[in-house]
Chains A and B, each alone.
Chain A
Amino acid sequence: MGANLWVNYGEAVAAVLFGIGFGNLLLQKNLIKKIIGLNIMDSAVYLFLAEKGYIEGRAAPIVVNGVQEAAAYINPIPSGLVLTGIVVSVSVSALMLSLTIRLYRRYHTLDLDQISLMIKREGR
C-alpha cells in the first residue's frame, strides 16, 4: 500500500467508477443498463486521464497576456486526448443503441438471457 491514496482521491474515484461500470456490464441483464455501464467506464477513464494532466495552482492552457512559460499552464495533452474520446464515445453508444432497437424489434424483449434462449430455440 503506497502513501498517496488520499492525495490521489480523483484517481481513486476513477478506479471505483471503473469497477462499478464493469460490475454493471457483468451483473445487469437489461441491455440499456449495460450500455449505461459502458458509458460510466468511459467517463472513469477520461477522469483518470484529466487528473494526470492537472497541476495545482495553474491555469487552463489558453495563453493570457502573452505569458508563455510552461510553469503557468496545466498539461494540454490529456485535454486533447479526452476531447476526441468524448465525441467518439457518443457514436459508440449510438451504435449500441441501434443494435438494441434491432434486437427488440425481432425478439420483443431487452433481457439478454431471454434473447439468447430464443436464439437457441431458433436453432442457431
Chain B
Amino acid sequence: MRVFTYLLMAFLILCAISVSLSKNLLNSILIYMSFSLIMSIIWVILESPDLAITEAAVGAGVTSLLFFVTLKKIHAISGKESGDEQEKD
C-alpha cells in the first residue's frame, strides 16, 4: 500500500511538471484531468470518500469540460486555426 502511495505521489509531480512543459494546450488540459483523477484516488487512500467523489465529479469532470469549451471558443482545439499564435513559433 505504501509503495502504491509513493507511486501515486510521484505521478502527481510528474503530471504537474508535464503540464507546464507541454507545448499543446489540449495536451496540458488532458494531463490536468489525469492529475485530478490521481488526486481522487489519493483522497480514498487518505480515508476521505466524500472528497474523492467530489473531486472526481468536479475536478476531473466539470473543470476540464469548462477548459475544453474555452479552447473551443478561442479556436485552439483543432490546432489548425490561428487561435493561439504562441503555439506556432
Contact = CB atoms under 8 A, between A and B. Distances in A.
- Given a CB threshold of 8 Å, the question of whether A touches B is answered with yes
Interface string B76-88: 1000000111100
Contacts, number: 118
The SS class assigned to the B binding surface is: helix
B13 A17 contact: yes
B70 A100 contact: yes
Which of B6, B19, B48, B55 has the most chain A CB atoms inside 10 A of its CB? B48
Interface string A28-71: 11101101110110010011001101100011101000000000
Given A33-B19, A50-B46, A60-B47, A83 B12 contact: no
Interface of B: 5-6, 9, 12-13, 16-17, 19-20, 25, 28-29, 32, 35-36, 39, 42-43, 46-51, 54-55, 58-59, 62-63, 66-67, 70-71, 73-74, 76, 83-86
